[in-house]
A and B are shown apart, each in its own frame.
Chain A
Amino acid sequence: MSNIVIKAENLGKKYIIGHQTDRGGYTALRDVLMQNARTMWKKTKDLATGKPIIQGDTMEEVWALRNVSFEIRQGEAVGIIGRNGAGKSTLLKILSRITEPTTGQIAISGRVASLLEVGTGFHPELTGRENIYLNGTILGMTRREIKRKFDEIVAFAEVDKYLDTPVKRYSSGMYVRLAFAVAAHLEPEILLVDEVLAVGDAQFQKKCLGKMGDVAKEGRTVLFVSHNMGAIQMLCQKSMLLKNGKLVMIRDAGDAIAQYLSDSRKDREGQIKLAPTGSDAFFTAISIRNSSGEICSEIDVSLPLTISFEYKILRPIQGLEVSFSLFNQYGSKIFYCPQSGSIHQHENEYPHGEYVGSVAIPGNFLAPGNYTISAGIHKPNIQLFDGRQHVIGFQIVECGSQHYAFSGQDIGSVLVDLPWMVRCLSDGENVSFN
């Protein structure tokens, strides 16, 4: 068993935030002046006593982190997951000594480097070369170390032609590549990384993930915050799940991710009830279910989902069509899916009654991302009984498919696995790389 390098006990961090109370009704100039005079007096008093200025009238204590205790051993790669505001970044900030905890204690053995942002301290007026030295030193490298790795950094960033150009003239892609290249060549004993991999183009992201993996394999300790579950699963053996500032669990990465997803399943709406529209045919509810039949709006990319439409038809209608369209996060229509293709023909009469119509979408079909559904009951080109635009949405979540490295990138909306036939033109042989 390797030794413990980070030991946190009972860690807590409190922030005080102010709220502006909303006074209803109209405000008179006199009130505003009085109010300003009062706050100015209060602020001056705060200044004299050394208290920070808090905007607003009421104060609230917020524990960004509370009673967090854990141990991390040397060489472990630990993912930190949780919703926005769960305290992930606060934890990293405390560990990297940027801010101090309100309660508790941490003991850290070894040189720590934190990477909370790519390109910290980059100066736009300085050249690429100068910024490598500046940023490297800020991240904790020595001058000699940077000199030794300089060529490697430049090669990694692929900016050798522009080394002596001020970085303000760089494209944003080049800027990020250079920034990450410096960070990737840090060699601390403990590396703390915040969501920084979600930058750059897909190819570069893959390169970065590979580099991160190397770091972990070299026996260094890595703490890694990410929303990219695929990356966490790939890089980390263990994972810490935070929720509202509390540590829910620190366990095997797969378990923690499963717990995280099921938590958010419970929290999110996967179903919507609709009120009658007053016409003769209308939707009453639309729901999204995962493969085990639970209503949920976050679906593992590899598993199927079912969309169910509940609707009422008050009188028999000739040529009625029930259909829906699926849109991706950019609002482009992926497909249109009418009922008539499978059951009804337009000229048939749709009997009155209450119905549930379901469509199953197979796993590994939709790419990770957000989708919305528009649904309609209509007589095509004649009459619209009920039309609901983007009425419900769901998210396809990456949980470690072969596409995990592209999370956040646009790889289209549909996953395909079409075989390529490659023939080498010089010898006419079919190529197989396996």
Chain B
Amino acid sequence: MTTIVIEPVRSEKNYWHDLWRFRELFLILAWRDLSVRYKQTVIGILWAILRPLLTMVVFTIIFGRIAGLPSDGNAPYTLLVFAAMLPWSLFSNALMESSNSLINNANLIGKVYFPRLIIPAATIVTAFIDFIIGFIILAGMMIYYHFTPDWQFVYLPGFILLSLLASLGPGLWITALNVKYRDFRYIIPFIVQFGLYISPVGFSSKVVPEGWRLIYSLNPMVGVIDGFRWCILGGNSTIYLPGFLLSLALITFFLWQGISRFRKMEKTFADLI
């Protein structure tokens, strides 16, 4: 029989072990979020297809046709946009879902114990499923354009993971802060809306003048999106290495900060929520 000791401000040694022990809860919470997602909607799962498609159409028209921005190499502009839409919506959905997750599950937090990290982590699964649907659309478009990816394509899973981690870090931080200060629930939609335009989603990051690229890469999603384009569009796109390393460092920093802040505040959630 295991004995646990409860004491004030004591970081538990078996926290990560506990996290593993509660894996079924993680799965069932993710499944719950997924299955209630499109309940009582008419077109249901079609929403997951329509939203990115329509955004892509609008961006292609505005940036590609009206603004006349160049594509990467000879890749079709629609593909250029969609290859960036995928990681961006993965990031923004995951960030939005996870940052409101603790508040949305306040009833659980006040009534049962489990490692709270499970809640924001489970919401990210929903964003990931949407991503997979988007990815199938991308595959269809590549077939339509007779566009075959190059060898770089094998690195794609790495960039998917990177995009998830990029959202998890700030997501954890914000959701924990959200418990104390509800201001953050109003900040996130703003950040996401804003981020769509300052990240290279509707245009190629080559458009940014050379001298500004490092500063531009302070937005961690720049590295991730460039990586996606590099994988999908092959030789047409390149990665700006210093910028990419900077993005990588920032993602790691935010992830570490997010987890440690979350862990620190975790024990007071039930009292504050």
The judgment on whether A and B are partners is: yes
Cβ–Cβ contact A126 & B25, under 8 A: no
Q: Considering the chains assembled together, what is the distance between the CA atoms of A120 and B9 in angstroms?
A: 27
Which of B33-41, B50-58, B71-79 participates in binding chain A?
A: B33-41
* B180–A53 CB distance below 8 A: yes
Is the beta-carbon distance between B181 and A47 smaller than 8 angstroms? yes
| B40 vs chain A, min Cβ distance (A) | 7
Is the CB of A75 closer than 8 A to any CB of chain B? no
A139 surroundings in chain B (CB, below 8 A): 112
With A47-B181, A120-B112, A126-B36 as contacts: A101 and B6 at CB distance below 8 Å? yes
With contacts A100-B267, A189-B1 taken as known, whether A120 is within 8 angstroms of B6 at the C-beta atoms is no
Chain B hits for A112, CB < 8 A: 113
Which residues 4-33 of B sit at the A interface, judged by CB distance below 8 A?
Answer: 4-9, 24-25, 28, 32
Q: Which residues of B contact A100 (CB under 8 A)?
A: 6-9, 267-268
User: In the assembly, what is the distance between CA of A34 and CA of B153, in Å?
Assistant: 60
- Decide: A114 and B112 in contact? CB cutoff 8 A: yes
How many Å lie between the Cα of A120 and that of B35 in the bound state? 18
Whether the pair A52, B272 counts as a contact (CB closer than 8 A) is yes
Question: Which of B4, B36, B40 is within 8 Å of A107, CB to CB?
Answer: B4
Q: Does residue A105 face the partner (Cβ distance < 8 Å to B)?
A: yes
B39–A102 CB distance below 8 A: no
Q: Tell me whether B5 and A107 are in contact (CB under 8 A).
A: yes
| Chain B min CB distance to A114 (Å) | 6
Among the listed B9, B111, B181, which residue makes an inter-chain contact with A53, where contact means beta carbons less than 8 Å apart? B181
Q: Chain A nearest CB: distance from B125 CB in Å? A: 15
Rounded to whole angstroms, the CA-CA distance of A258 and B53 in the bound complex is 71
Given known A103-B8, A133-B28, A138-B112, contact A98–B270 (CB-CB < 8 A): yes
Q: Would A114 and B113 count as touching, CB distance under 8 A? A: yes
A261 CA to B17 CA in the complex, in Å? Answer: 46
By the criterion of a CB under 8 Å from any partner CB, how many residues of chain B are at the interface? 33
B148: CB under 8 A from chain A?
Answer: no
Q: Does residue B3 face the partner (Cβ distance < 8 Å to A)?
A: yes
Interface residues of B in 68-123 (CB under 8 A from A): 107-114
With the chains together, A110 CA to B3 CA distance in Å?
Answer: 6
What A residues does B113 contact at CB under 8 A?
96-98, 112, 114
List residues of chain A with CB within 8 A of the CB of B35.
126, 130
A102 x B8 contact (CB < 8 A) = yes
Interface bits A130-141 vs B (CB < 8 Å: 1, else 0): 100110011110
Smallest CB–CB gap between A400 and chain B, Å? 30
Chain A min CB distance to B178 (Å): 12
User: Which residues of A are found within 8 Å of B25, using beta-carbon distances?
Assistant: 137-138
* Distance (whole angstroms) from the CB of A128 to the closest CB of chain B: 14
Smallest Cβ-Cβ distance to B39: which chain A residue: A125
- In the complex, chain A residues whose CB is within 8 Å of the CB of B36: 123, 125-126
Instruction: Report the Cα distance A121→B5, complex, angstroms.
Output: 27
B2 within 8 A of A: yes
Give the residues in chain B near A345, CB-CB below 8 Å.
none
Question: Does A106 reach chain B (CB closer than 8 Å)?
Answer: yes
Residues of chain B in range 202-232 having any CB-CB distance to chain A below 8 Å: none
A120 and B28 in contact (CB under 8 A), knowing A52-B180, A105-B6?
no
Does any Cβ of B come within 8 Å of A262's Cβ? no
Report whether B28 and A109 are in contact in the complex, using a CB–CB cutoff of 8 Å. no
Q: Which of A221-252 contact B (CB under 8 A)?
A: none
How far does the alpha carbon of A52 sit from the alpha carbon of B265 in the complex, in Å?
11
- Flag whether A15 is at the interface (Cβ < 8 A): yes
Report whether A125 and B111 are in contact in the complex, using a CB–CB cutoff of 8 Å. no
With A15-B271, A125-B39, A126-B36 in contact, do A94 and B6 touch (Cβ < 8 Å)? yes
Q: How far is the CA of A103 from the CA of B10 in the complex (A)?
A: 12
Contact A98–B6 (Cβ < 8 Å): no
Smallest CB separation, A314 vs chain B (Å): 61
A410 part of interface (Cβ distance < 8 Å) = no
- A residues whose Cβ falls under 8 Å from a Cβ of B: 15, 47, 52-53, 93-110, 112, 114, 116-117, 120-121, 123, 125-126, 130, 133-134, 137-140, 142-143, 189
16 A-B residue pairings within 8 Å (CB atoms): A52-B180, A96-B113, A97-B6, A98-B110, A98-B113, A100-B9, A107-B6, A108-B3, A120-B111, A123-B32, A125-B40, A126-B32, A126-B36, A139-B112, A143-B24, A143-B28
Shortest 10 CB-CB distances between A and B: which pairs? A97-B113, A109-B3, A99-B270, A106-B6, A125-B39, A137-B28, A120-B111, A125-B36, A100-B267, A98-B270
